[in-house]
């Protein structure tokens, strides 16, 4: 039986053979993964004996376009519905190469045999799925493609990026590490090393106004993955230090708070009045402030002081807007009984 590393190598080889339209050079693949070139040639023979239609042009190898494993077209009704739901959930990454691969697979499986021409299930599914997409990424397809290429080939990128609050543009050189889709925020992000800030940064893909590849290779820096960069973040906004946050929730919200994991670090403490106190260890308070405000009067920020001040200031500003009275120019205080 083949060893685990051999199995992994075979699956990796089969995957990359089916990705690029013009094939892959085995020498480059061997150098990228520190594999023996002769071993890769033997693996090609193994894949051919297994029935994969491997074609080659000189030193480049690929799978014949349109190939599917035998029996792939004989799918069941519940399987087509499962794939349909998966496509809905994957809407946020549809403009990436993986998203386009999913669309091609969907098209092949529904364009032949009993499923010909069917782009939706023939019956209402018992599980409804809402597409987690708040931004139309079709307008950003070129940007996504450039960033994806830069990530895959470890190339630095020149870019112009718009700030979320002011819209001000800054010119930067970044070293892309990973594209990351957050279904809670319905947004696609890029984790990258920013040479302007000399730190890891999380960029919203839709705020790039210009991205241009350079021919400068860049070694992958530690910390430019979502797992590392967002480890202590509440969502995606992060800071350089971890802060302890305490929020008190009323009895009416306690059930909802207890049934969810809001952050991996959370600790819950029940209160005599039926409420619950939540303690978090997070890096960055901006999104925590929005989270607390979203529960209205049912949530009270207990600490740290900067979180209390931020929430209080937002509540006062909101209340001032509701209490402000608009008067018609030239009119004074309304008379008794007069409608305003």
List all residues 6 or more positions away from 84 whose beta carbon is below 8 Å from its beta carbon: 120, 121, 125
Answer yes or no: is pLDDT of 252 > 90. Answer: yes
Classify residue 75 as exposed, middle or buried by CB count within 10 Å of its CB (0-12, 13-18, 19+).
middle
Q: In sequence order, what E strands does 129-230 have?
A: 155-162, 169-182, 187-194, 199-204, 208-217
Antiparallel, parallel or unpaired: β 276-282 and 243-249: antiparallel
Highest average pLDDT, of 19-23, 67-71, 235-239, comes from 235-239
In this structure, whether the domain defined by 137-223 belongs to CATH 3.30.465 is answered with no
Residue 63 Cα to chain centre, angstroms: 29
Taking the alpha carbons at both ends of the chain, their separation in whole angstroms is: 84
Q: Which helix (H) or strand (E) holds 39?
A: helix 37-49
Q: How far apart are CA 35 and CA 190, in angstroms?
A: 29
Is the N-terminal amide bond of 304 cis, ω within 30° of 0?
yes
Q: How far apart are CA 12 and CA 304, in angstroms?
A: 48
Neighbours of 174 (CB within 10 A): 25
Classify residue 213 as exposed, middle or buried by CB count within 10 Å of its CB (0-12, 13-18, 19+).
middle
Nearest to 6 by CA among 40, 31, 32: 40
Q: Please, what is the Cα angle at 272 between 270 and 273, to 5 degrees?
A: 100
- Which residues are bridge partners to 159 per DSSP? 172, 211
Task: Write down the pLDDT at residue 339.
Answer: 43
Task: Write down the pLDDT at residue 20.
Answer: 65
* Pair of tokens at residue 165: 């609050």
Structure confidence by residue, pLDDT tens digits, 203-239: 999 999 999 999 999 998 989 999 999 999 999 988 8
Q: Please, what is the Cα angle at 46 between 45 and 50, to 5 degrees?
A: 115
* Pair of tokens at residue 168: 């001000």
Classify residue 143 as exposed, middle or buried by CB count within 10 Å of its CB (0-12, 13-18, 19+).
buried
**Rounded mean pLDDT, 305-334:** 79
Task: Write down the pLDDT at residue 1.
Answer: 37
* pLDDT mean across residues, the chain: 84
Fold topology of 4-63: Arc Repressor Mutant, subunit A (1.10.10)
**Rounded mean pLDDT, 7-25:** 78
Nearest to 24 by CA among 155, 152, 150: 152
Instruction: Name the residue ranges covered by the structural domains of the chain.
Output: 4-63, 77-115, 137-223, 243-323
pTM equals 0.68
Task: Write down the pLDDT at residue 116.
Answer: 47
Residue 163 — φ and ψ, nearest 5°? -65, 145
Residues 295 and 249: beta-carbon distance below 8 Å: yes
Q: Which of 99-108, 123-132, 176-185 has the lowest mean pLDDT?
A: 123-132
Task: Write down the pLDDT at residue 68.
Answer: 56
Task: Write down the pLDDT at residue 117.
Answer: 45
């Amino acid at each position: 039986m083949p060893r685990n590393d051999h199995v992994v190598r075979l699956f990796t080889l089969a995957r990359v053979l089916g990705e690029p339209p013009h094939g892959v050079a085995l020498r480059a693949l061997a150098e990228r993964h520190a594999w023996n070139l002769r071993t890769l040639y033997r693996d090609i023979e193994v894949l051919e004996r297994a029935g994969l239609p491997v074609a080659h042009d000189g030193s480049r190898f690929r799978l014949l376009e349109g190939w599917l494993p035998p029996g792939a077209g004989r799918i069941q009704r519940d399987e087509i519905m499962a794939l349909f739901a998966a496509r809905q959930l994957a809407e946020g990454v549809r403009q990436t190469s993986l998203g386009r691969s999913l669309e091609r697979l969907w098209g092949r499986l529904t364009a032949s045999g009993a499923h010909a021409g069917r782009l939706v299930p023939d019956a209402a599914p018992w599980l409804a799925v809402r597409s987690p997409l708040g931004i139309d990424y079709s307008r950003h397809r070129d940007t996504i493609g450039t960033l994806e290429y830069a990530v895959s080939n470890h190339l630095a990128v020149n870019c112009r990026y718009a700030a979320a609050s002011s819209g001000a543009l800054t010119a930067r050189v970044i070293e892309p590490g990973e594209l990351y889709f957050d279904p809670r925020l319905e947004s696609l992000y890029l984790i990258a090393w920013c040479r302007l800030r000399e730190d890891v940064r999380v960029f919203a893909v839709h705020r790039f106004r210009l991205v241009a590849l350079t021919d400068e290779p860049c070694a992958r820096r530690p910390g430019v993955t979502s797992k590392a960069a967002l480890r202590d973040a509440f969502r995606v906004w992060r800071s350089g230090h971890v802060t302890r946050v305490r929020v008190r929730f009323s009895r009416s919200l306690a059930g909802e708070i207890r049934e969810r994991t809001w952050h991996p670090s959370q600790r819950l403490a029940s209160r005599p009045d039926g409420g619950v106190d939540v303690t978090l260890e997070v890096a960055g308070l901006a999104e925590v402030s929005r989270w607390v405000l979203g529960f209205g009067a049912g949530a009270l920020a207990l600490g740290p002081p900067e979180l209390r001040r931020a929430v209080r200031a937002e509540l006062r500003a909101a209340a001032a807007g509701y209490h402000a009275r608009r008067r018609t120019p030239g009119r004074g205080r309304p008379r008794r009984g007069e409608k305003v």
